[in-house]
Amino acid sequence: MHDSSINISDVAKHAGVSTATVSRVLSDKRHVSEATRQKVWKAVEELGYRPNRVARRLRVGRADVIGLVIPDILNPFFTVASRAIQDVAQEADFSVILCNTDEDPKKEEKYLALLEDEAVAGIIFCPAQETNQMVTDTFIKEMPFVTLDRRLTNVETDHVLLDNVNAAREIVTHLIEQGHRRIGAITGKMTVTTGRERQEGYKQALLDHGIEYEPALAKKVIPKIDQGRKAALELMNQPNPPTAIFTGSNLLTIGLLHAIQETSLAIPDDIAIAGFDELPFNSLALPWITTIQQPNYELGKVAAELLLERIRNPIGAKRQILLRGEMIVRQSSMRHKAAL
């Protein structure tokens, strides 16, 4: 008898395989041994699981639906990029399934399995870390796949990224040119390529100007507001605190602003700030904040166009598209008073 509470994860656990393997068997895809297929179908029968959606996809063919897997829809960067992806998809008569992972690799695996189960036409993916066990060469061969904003290092995929190293190098160089020698950095974790690349740009700018890199001034955290606030307070409470702080994302900048408000410091007299991503209130907040303005909409648009191209033509070398950010200099990074 069919039990509607049984799902693909239950089948995977019962068969002793991954959810991705169950999905491949149910979708009748290649690269699964006959013994494994039999185990999966036996589990399906014993549990009474009915993969109606997969069966329907197999009958009508691959749907005009793409999957979008992102870490945080509340992050303004992903809000804008998601809108661009939806606009491009709609123009091509595709629909979009949006999956929000909260930077959680386990949620990523769940959603990727779901999208494979749904036999979507392709996936745009922003990973929570640089490796993902489910996204393998076999997975990429069978599923048109584009990574957005962050790259995977364990498999070759199409990428659409910002030139993070040069953007970070440019904005930290700007702070140095304003007279700052002790510059803190709050970026994403080193297991995420954007965090590592922006840290690299920070280091390069220091090296360019003969400033020694101090690990105590470089914080690597999950790009969330509370994490940015905590890291900023740690920097500002040091015996010899930085006179300027560089942030690697808009949410980290917001966290930094909360910390500055708590410590009653003045921007830019007591602490200068500059970071990645425009904020919705940048033109309203005083002082206005110096940022690297990412082409958020363009990044999403290019990713969607690249995925649709890959869906039409699965064969061909993987492409990496790098877009440049634009530094917008504002009051928050004005010349350091000690250098006047």
Q: What is the mean pLDDT of residues 40-65?
A: 69
Task: Give the per-residue pLDDT at 255.
Answer: 95
- Asked if residue 169 is part of any domain, the answer here is yes
Query: What contacts 24+ positions apart, CB below 8 Å, involve 20-24?
Result: 20/109, 20/112, 20/113, 20/116, 20/134, 20/139, 22/113, 23/54, 23/113, 23/116, 23/117, 24/116, 24/142
Q: Tell me the mean pLDDT in the region 168-196.
A: 95
Same domain for 51 and 192: no
Report the CATH number that the domain containing residue 30 is assigned in CATH: 1.10.260.40
Are 171 and 53 in a shared domain?
A: no
Mean pLDDT, the chain, integer: 89
User: How much of the chain is helix, strand and coil, in % rounded to 5?
Assistant: 45, 15, 40
258 within domain boundaries: yes
Q: Which CATH number characterizes residue 178's domain?
A: 3.40.50.2300
* pLDDT given at position 212: 96
Give yes or no for residue 49 having a pLDDT over 70. Answer: yes
- Position 54 pLDDT exceeds 60: no
pLDDT over 80 at 40, yes or no: yes
Percent of the chain with pLDDT over 90: 64
How many residues are there in the chain? 340
Q: Looking at 28-169, which runs of residues are DSSP E strands? A: 65-70, 95-100, 122-125, 145-148, 158-162
Is residue 72 situated within a structural domain? no
In this structure, are 330 and 209 located in the same domain? Answer: yes
Number of domains the chain contains: 2
Amino acid 285: pLDDT: 63
Output the six-digit token pair for 239.
């015996």
pLDDT for 50 equals: 66
Range of 36-40, 283-287, 297-301 with top mean pLDDT: 297-301
pLDDT, one tens digit per residue, over 220-234 is 999 999 999 999 999
pLDDT at 198 over 50: yes
Q: Is residue 8 part of a domain?
A: yes
Of 14, 41, 61, which closes a domain? 61
Domain range holding 39?
1-61
313-339 residue pLDDT tens: 888 889 999 999 999 999 999 875 555
Instruction: Examine the domain organization and report whether 330 and 197 are in the same domain.
Output: yes
Q: For residue 88, is it within any domain?
A: no
Shared domain check, 185 and 36: no
Bigger pLDDT: 253 vs 4: 253
Percentage with pLDDT > 70 across the chain: 90
> CB of 221 within 8 A of CB of 188?
yes
Q: Is residue 215 part of a domain?
A: yes
Query: Mutual orientation of helices 34-47 and 8-15 as an angle, nearest 10°?
Result: 120
Q: What is the pLDDT of residue 327?
A: 96
Question: For residue 138, what pLDDT is reported?
Answer: 78
pLDDT of amino acid 59: 44
- Whether 234 maps to a domain, the answer reads yes
Of 61, 77, 105, which residue constitutes the final position of a domain? 61
Averaged pLDDT for residues 202-229: 96
In a 10 Å sphere around its CB, with 0-12 CB exposed, 13-18 middle and 19+ buried, how is residue 237 labelled?
exposed
Which of 314 and 273 is assigned the larger pLDDT?
Answer: 273
Is 102 among the domain residues?
A: no
Q: Does the pLDDT value for residue 340 go beyond 60?
A: no
pLDDT, tens digit, 9 for 90 and up, residues 123-164: 999 999 998 888 887 788 788 999 999 999 989 999 999 999
Q: What is the pLDDT of residue 24?
A: 77
What is the reported pLDDT for 282?
62
Residue with the bigger pLDDT between 96 and 52: it is 96
Higher-pLDDT residue of 54, 108 = 108
Q: Give the domain-ending residue among 27, 61, 95.
A: 61
